[in-house]
Amino acid sequence: MRAVINLTVHGIGSRTGRTLEPDEGATWVDVERFEQVLDAVAGRPDVRLTFDDGNASDLDTALPRLLERGLTAEFHVLAGRLGEPGRLTADGVRELAKSGMTIGSHGWAHRDWRRLTAAQVTEEHVHAHRVLEDITGEPVTRVAVPFGSYDRHVLRRLRRAAVARVYTSDGGPARPDAWLQPRTSLRHDLDDAWIARVLAPSAPALRLRRTAARLVKRTRGR
């Protein structure tokens, strides 16, 4: 079974519409670089595009460029931040869904899922899904882990929540049907060499190191 490459987009363009969180600017790309990536993955069934955080640029900038190239993507939204400056609105989420995009959850308030109170667990894994399901009229079965921070407790909660696919930030290729899907984030300084390297098959030694790192995360406690 051929491996897939999952790419993550966070924000696009020079106008963020809000104050970025610490280190968030490192994964905010300009429009030209974003278009370079789309052109490189068009016609590549082994590449999946995902978007995190529910930024307004998902709708304003990404959607028309995806449609121009006949591409689809998964948008993982922060349900508790809908309508905030620089974020998607409920109508924006509906438009993405009506345009053939998949809507998933990135949780409620961009918290570290390894450090949640009981009340926050309910917000992140129950309320967030219900809000997005009410907006789209479709079940939400896919999530993207904030900050790529997870352990065996997080994964157990997601299985109990009947999540069908979990995206991480571990990097490298993935089996198409795997429950846990590593991803690579676009960076603000990406260039042609970065695109070629990320979209190329990984060397066996690098795949082994990434697999080992994921195993540590899956089995660790707090």
- Cα separation values, 44 from 33, 47, 50, 79, 171, Å: 18, 6, 14, 30, 18
The domains found in the chain, sorted by start residue, are 5-219 (3.20.20.370)
pLDDT in tens, 65-84: 999 999 999 999 999 999 99
CA distance 92 to 83: 9
Q: Which stretches in the chain have pLDDT values below 50?
A: 203-208, 212
CA distance 154 to 151: 5
pLDDT in tens, 162-189: 999 999 999 999 999 999 999 999 999 9
Q: Are 51 and 74 in contact (CB under 8 A)?
A: yes
CA distance 142 to 164: 6
The identity of residue 30, as a single letter, is D
